[in-house]
Amino acid sequence: MYISRYNSVQMKFDLHTFKGKVEEVALIDSGVTANFINYRTVARLWLRTQKLKQLQSVQKIDGTLNKSGSCHHQ
């Protein structure tokens, strides 16, 4: 299933970091099994990360693997 930003349920929220506050948009999905954030957003907001001991694969709602690959950091 393809979910575009035009036909999905989204919510605006304020994300507070040491550099200040920024407004972001979250995709609402009540069936999630984990929480993930795009690496570009992490870099743009200068969020700290830690390397995972073991890679974690990410599957989309249709069961296919995420095209960005596995998660390396948390």
43 vs 33, which has greater pLDDT?
43
Return phi, psi of residue 36, to 5°. Answer: -135, 155
11 vs 45, which has greater pLDDT?
45
State the pTM of this model: 0.45
- Does residue 28 register a pLDDT over 90? no
- With H, G, I as helix, E, B as strand and everything else as coil, classify residue 2: coil
Contact 70, 56 (CB under 8 A): yes
Longest dimension (CA), the chain: 37
pLDDT at 1: 42
